[in-house]
Amino acid sequence: MSVLAKLKDHSVQDSPYAQSLLGDDHIARFVCDEDGLILYGNQAFEKINPDFESSSKLKISDFIEFVSEDDFYQSGQSHISLLGTDDVSITMNWVQINSETKILIASLHDYNLAFENKEVPPPQAEEEKSAYNPFSDLSDDIQIICSLKGEITNSDNHLVDLIGTASIPDLLDITFEEDRQSFETFIQHLRAKPQSIKIRLVNYTNDVIHILWRGKNIDGQIYLQGRNISEREQYRQTLADHQQRLKEAEALGNIGQWEWTIGTDYLHFSDQLCRIFGIDEKDPNPKFDYINAMIHEDDEDRMMQVFQRAMIEQKNYDLDFKIETPQGQTRHIKCEGRCKTDQNGEAVALYGIMQDMTHVLAHEQGLIEAKERAEKAYASKTQFLANISHELRTPLNAVIGFSEMMERQLLGPIGTEKYLEYIKGIRESGEHLLSLIGDILDMSKIEAGKYDLHLEKFNVIKTAQLAAHMVEGRAVTNNVKLDIQVPDEKMDLIADRRAVMQIILNLLSNAVKFSHENGVVDLIVQKNENFIFITVKDRGIGIPANKLATITQPFEQAQNHLTREYEGTGLGLTITKELIEIHGGNLKILSEVNAGTEVIVKLPKETKLED
């Protein structure tokens, strides 16, 4: 079947291009296939190619010179060069005959053959300018012929209508000032191949108009076609502004957008989401497996179940999960999403937002911890009042009672020997009160961060022996033996001597206090290359396992304040622990009820003050 027959049988037979092939006139028309082989040419075409015959192997490249191969496959009107002649105007239209066949229908317009004289058309009268191109009334595009300097030699009425003045001798005069140099350079460097540029013009009311110019140079004359794209540019700018505001809002809220087309290997992330996940914003389409590898193993299965249920039920969903970024940062993510369906109701994609909740959760955790600290402080205050009321009453009752008996001389004159015992009781009660007040003041200083260390170099063995001597009297009273074990009589330590003394005294006093009669308390001092270890071990009542975690908290004691048999504020171990940690050391407590307690103090050989 001939090409014409195919055209007649095809739905394009009513096309003006197809109908024009049925007659011969002054417009040269021809048909070629995708390889450029001429299949048909009318009489006007044969005049241009007198040797053409239906059975010939003439190709379009034998008589037309295209600037590039791509120009052959473009539809529309343009200027081309005929071999052996000058430029003419050509209209090219590609027509799909069937699923496998595509042909080109082309027309060479002889009204442009005036160009073959290679003369610049004379300037037309003002009222005739719009007649230079018969297609000008069919389009709102501006059409201009100008010199290399931008002097207008011919134009249509669209330019006059757009600018609002009839006299426009120079195109650069109406060009926006900041664009003049670019436009002038564009005009001067135009070649035969069409090129484009966006330029702003200014009308008589100083409104800025965005024009997309497409032009080419034909024998020194510049042919320009301009399209008003102001609305498009305004829309583009509005869209850009909206996108910028969206980006800023996402950054403020630490929120990003995402989308995953079901069945594909890649996700799409917005810029902010790339930053949240620690990936390069230049590659906003990370691989699914790459992102999945960041998700914490505890959340993987749950996340996949939520996504699968979303695809099946096609409902909105939300979930929280944790990720580990490539930079090693742990982030808590809140995800909210929806399911996208096609026209058949099938799920085709999942999309939504993800928000970095790390700082929010950290703030919430901080509030929870602050609340817990406040509650503990309140509980400590209550417990302190309960403890201290008992501790203060006992010595004060002794002081008041003994003093009253001596004042009234109930046992006889002041010289009575029994009063000496009362005086001793008054002294011991006063010392006990002083110890209580000292503990409270020390604890207050430590909590306020005002406990200043006075570092010096001293022999820790001598300090330990002195502390043991100071508690020896109480040990003898309680029938407890002190056993000091030191492998080396000289162990130097750079620390606060008074604080170290208080640490050892507190531990020895507790060990003696809570030892059974005829018990033994061990004081062991050891060292290695960097640390000194002080161990105090007793075989006393021990500490219940449920109290070990809180025994070093303020005012905590192993026994209830109503039933305990031993005096004390409950600050001794707390102060000891704080003093050790101020030195950069740590405290370890091992204990078993009715088997005894072992306390191990680890201190650096040289304490360094923080800046």
**What is the three-state SS of 316-333?**
CEEEEEEEECCCCCEEEE
Q: How far is CA 248 from CA 242, 243, 245, 270, in A?
A: 10, 9, 5, 12
At residue 8, does pLDDT exceed 60? no
Residue with the larger pLDDT of the pair 167 and 486: 486
What does the pLDDT read at residue 226?
92
Q: pLDDT tens, 348-378? A: 899 998 999 988 888 888 888 888 888 877 6
Q: pLDDT tens, 553-582? A: 765 555 544 334 555 556 778 888 888 888
Q: pLDDT tens, 89-110? A: 777 878 777 777 788 888 776 4
Quick check: pTM over 0.85? Answer: no
What does the pLDDT read at residue 9?
47
- CA-closest candidate to residue 433, choices 443, 444, 441: 441
What does the pLDDT read at residue 531?
93
Mean pLDDT of 455-468: 90
What does the pLDDT read at residue 22?
46
Strand arrangement, sheet containing 586-592? 481-485, 520-527, 531-537, 596-604, 586-592
What pLDDT band is residue 550 in, cutting at 50, 70 and 90? confident
Measured CA to CA, the distance from residue 411 to residue 431 in angstroms comes to 25
Q: pLDDT tens, 217-257? A: 988 889 999 999 998 888 988 888 888 888 888 888 889 88
What does the pLDDT read at residue 390?
58
What pLDDT band is residue 394 in, cutting at 50, 70 and 90? low
What lies within 8 Å, CB to CB, of 611 at 6+ separation is none
Measured CA to CA, the distance from residue 105 to residue 525 in angstroms comes to 105
What lies within 8 Å, CB to CB, of 174 at 6+ separation is 163, 168, 201, 202, 203
Asked whether 284 and 268 are in contact (CB, 8 A), the reply is yes
What does the pLDDT read at residue 598?
93
* Weakest-pLDDT range from 84-98, 263-277, 364-378, 533-547: 84-98
* Weakest-pLDDT range from 13-22, 133-142, 482-491: 13-22
What lies within 8 Å, CB to CB, of 205 at 6+ separation is 164
Mean pLDDT of 404-423: 70
Residue with the larger pLDDT of the pair 23 and 386: 386
Q: What is the mean pLDDT of the chain?
A: 78
What does the pLDDT read at residue 436?
62
- CA-closest candidate to residue 498, choices 466, 535, 521, 543: 466
Residue with the larger pLDDT of the pair 259 and 166: 259
Number of C-beta neighbours around residue 576 at 10 A: 22
- CA-closest candidate to residue 2, choices 38, 58, 40: 40
Give percent of the chain with pLDDT exceeding 90: 16
Is residue 86 within a helix (H) or strand (E), and if so which, with residue range?
none
Number of C-beta neighbours around residue 382 at 10 A: 11
What does the pLDDT read at residue 200?
93
* Weakest-pLDDT range from 32-41, 134-143, 167-176, 302-311: 134-143
Mean pLDDT of 334-347: 88
Asked whether 419 and 407 are in contact (CB, 8 A), the reply is no
Mean pLDDT of 388-403: 65
What pLDDT band is residue 36 in, cutting at 50, 70 and 90? confident
What does the pLDDT read at residue 121?
42
What does the pLDDT read at residue 554?
63
At residue 168, does pLDDT exceed 60? yes
What does the pLDDT read at residue 557?
55
Measured CA to CA, the distance from residue 438 to residue 440 in angstroms comes to 5
Q: pLDDT tens, 109-152? A: 643 343 333 333 444 444 444 434 555 566 788 888 999 888 88
